[in-house]
A and B are shown apart, each in its own frame.
Chain A
Amino acid sequence: MFYLRLVRGYRVVDLGRWLLTSVAAAVVAAFLLRALGRALSDPPGAHSAPERLLWCLPPLLAVAWFAAVAARALPAQRAERIAGLRAAGAGPVRLRLLIAGEIALACAAGAVVSLLLFLVLRNNIAGPGLAPELGMGDPLPPAAPVALVALLPLVGGVAAVCAVPGRDALPQTRPAVTAAPFGLPRILLAGLLTFGGTLTELYALRPAAAEDPRPLQLPADLGHTNALLLGGWAAATLGAALLTGPLLAGVGRLLALGRPGARRLLAGRGLAALAPRLGTPLAVLALTLAVVLTAVRHWVAPGASGTGPLPAAEALLVIGCASAAVVARLTELRAARRPVGAALLRLGAAPRLLAAATLLRWALAGLVLLATGGLTAVLGAALLT
């Protein structure tokens, strides 16, 4: 009941978060239930069920990632509500549970909708095309769908609980905008991984290596490869992801080099300050975009064996969650930086200048996204040829 009272004060951002979490959870639940249905209708002795369940893992991880970032964004977005709850006597643990409970509730709502749809469709409503996917005609063990559907609120809630840091839930301390900058070891490691991985992959792709055996089969009809190629690609991808944050900070510092005016100074230094918080969601987005687009390009290429609509739905969900996580982080940073904007306006800074600085900052972040995502995509495309 208490939670419902809080919901009455919700605005577009909160409702959007609720809706997105529910829809994503509903889609993942549909994947899980479809795996269950196929397992029911498969003849005994078929061994594809674990593989089908494994395919549900990427979307589940995507939902968990979005839940974590959204939960982390909440205290900064709704500082006044957190302050009110604190004043009313809610401690950090209860606040954390409240935030996680909200995410879990949204996940549960989506999952239950999927479950109801699954149960309704099983009643001879779906056509023969869908019958094997739903396990129509086979008795349904009641524990199985409940366990699968309960997985979603559990995963979402646990991700949210882990993501909300205790100190952020306290209204006295403003959420930290400037996190610790990147240390040299991290930058070195990221650079080495990227460089080494790219070199390894290029070596594995040299013309003389065309006859090398490719014993490893990639999932989803993506062809065959060998350990050297795959390892090089994985190392370069990891390196590019780790490099996103330091790259953002470096680009920001570069922008403020020389004799910057107010706009360049604010944009550059601001980007460098936001890089630690913005780097991770951007890296995840770059990675998913690159992997998914490379796979899609491979699927639609002439001569490729067609895949069903499920990988496409999965790809869409993963990209959607990664993008939504970036948006959630951006709204969080925007809320956390509101005092800085107010101080600048008090100094007489024109809103147009501040908007231009912000635009410049996001344009540069987009460039970094293109660079790291582009590298991952190019290496991925080379892997698949």
Chain B
Amino acid sequence: MSAAPPDNDVLWARGIVKSHHGTPALREVSIGVREGEVLAVTGARGSGKSTLLGCLSAQLPVDAGEVWFNSSPVHTLGRAGREKLRRERFGFVGSEPQLVPELTARENVALPLLLAGVGHRAAYGAADDWLERLDVAACAKRRPEELIRSQCQRIAVARALAPLPRVVFADDPTAPLHREARDQVLRILTSAARSHQLTLVLATHDPELARYADRTVALVDGRTPVPATAVRRPAAAPVAASH
């Protein structure tokens, strides 16, 4: 087994195994995520990216192996502990926006803060700020069904970033988007992560998009064939978030 992880790993997993109803998704994956980095997890569909993100972000319990966040174990946490972690430390953007349809954009962004018990004024203030930063302030009062896909996805990004989590997980956040919208969402996500010192774990099936990341881990059939620390790319120039 590998030695103890370096101190600057905010999140790390060792030998995690996970299967869905008998179908193996992850077979002994070990990975470390450093504080403040943008880590891309690449791989074809079905290679276990989503499952890995689910296990790291305390959504799925692992079958075997360990997951540690901030030097405390995640794999031993109960359901309530994992919910608290997701609520207070993690943010998540999926490939679908998954907004609550009956809430306005502003309320959707404020919801995680309200769930975490933040006051009304602070929650909506943060929501307005992030909608502004992601250039969707004009949609604040509108519902997801009145908005187009890329706007919804930007609202989902705002929702994940508004509570200023330690780690943001983005599971193929650009899957339903066109090329321009795709680049825009990723630029916003990565630049926001860098400017707020958030750690970003980005799963994508498109190796081209890994250029936004500091480091890339490839998953093949639920395994990491290349050691996770192999590729180190220069950080992309941070792009000022549009107003």
Residue ranges of A at the interface with B (Cβ–Cβ < 8 Å): 177-178, 259-262, 265-266, 269-270, 272-273, 339-340, 342-350, 353
Give bound CA distance, A177 to B99, whole Å: 14
Chain B residues with CB below 8 A from A345, complex form: 83
Q: B111 in the interface, Cβ–Cβ < 8 Å? A: yes
Q: Does B114 contact A262, Cβ atoms closer than 8 Å?
A: yes
Q: Does B98 contact A343, Cβ atoms closer than 8 Å?
A: yes
Q: Does B101 contact A177, Cβ atoms closer than 8 Å?
A: yes
Least Cβ distance of A175 to chain B in Å? 12
Q: Does B87 contact A347, Cβ atoms closer than 8 Å?
A: yes
Q: Given A177-B101, A339-B98, A347-B92, are A265 and B86 also a contact pair (CB < 8 Å)?
A: no
Q: Given A262-B111, A347-B87, A347-B111, are A178 and B102 also a contact pair (CB < 8 Å)?
A: yes
Least Cβ distance of B139 to chain A in Å? 17
Chain B residues with CB below 8 A from A344, complex form: 100
Q: Does B85 contact A348, Cβ atoms closer than 8 Å?
A: yes
How many contacting A-B pairs (Cβ < 8 A)?
61
Size class of the B contact interface (CB-based, 8 Å): 20 to 34
Give bound CA distance, A266 to B103, whole Å: 8
Q: Mostly helix, strand, loop or mixed at chain B's interface?
A: helix
Q: B76 in the interface, Cβ–Cβ < 8 Å? A: no
User: B84-112 toward A: CB 8 Å interface, digit per residue (1/0)?
Assistant: 11111010101000111111000100011
Chain B residues with CB below 8 A from A269, complex form: 100, 102-103, 107
Chain A residues with CB below 8 A from B112, complex form: 347-348
Ranked 10 nearest A-B pairs via Cβ: A348-B87, A348-B86, A273-B102, A343-B98, A262-B114, A259-B120, A269-B102, A262-B115, A348-B83, A349-B115
Chain B residues with CB below 8 A from A270, complex form: 102
Q: Mostly helix, strand, loop or mixed at chain A's interface?
A: helix
Q: Does B101 contact A178, Cβ atoms closer than 8 Å?
A: yes
Give bound CA distance, A286 to B207, whole Å: 59
Give bound CA distance, A344 to B101, whole Å: 12
Most buried by A among B83, B86, B100, B120: B100
Q: Does A346 contact B98, Cβ atoms closer than 8 Å?
A: yes
Chain B residues with CB below 8 A from A273, complex form: 101-102
Chain B residues with CB below 8 A from A262, complex form: 111, 114-115
Give bound CA distance, A23 to B59, whole Å: 44
Q: Does A266 contact B98, Cβ atoms closer than 8 Å?
A: no
Give bound CA distance, A269 to B111, whole Å: 13
Least Cβ distance of B58 to chain A in Å? 9
Chain B residues with CB below 8 A from A343, complex form: 98-100
Q: Given A178-B145, A259-B120, A265-B107, are A347 and B115 also a contact pair (CB < 8 Å)?
A: yes
Least Cβ distance of B96 to chain A in Å? 9
23 A/B residue pairs, CB under 8 Å, sorted by A: A177-B101, A178-B101, A262-B114, A265-B103, A265-B107, A269-B102, A269-B107, A272-B102, A340-B101, A343-B98, A343-B99, A344-B100, A345-B83, A346-B86, A346-B94, A346-B98, A347-B92, A347-B111, A347-B112, A347-B115, A348-B84, A348-B115, A349-B87
Give bound CA distance, A272 to B103, whole Å: 10
Give bound CA distance, A266 to B100, whole Å: 9
Least Cβ distance of B153 to chain A in Å? 14
Q: B80 in the interface, Cβ–Cβ < 8 Å? A: yes
Question: Who on chain A is nearest to B92 by CB?
Answer: A346
Chain A residues with CB below 8 A from B145, complex form: 178
Q: Does A350 contact B100, Cβ atoms closer than 8 Å?
A: no
Least Cβ distance of A216 to chain B in Å? 46
Question: Who on chain A is nearest to B82 by CB?
Answer: A348
Chain B residues with CB below 8 A from A178, complex form: 101-102, 145
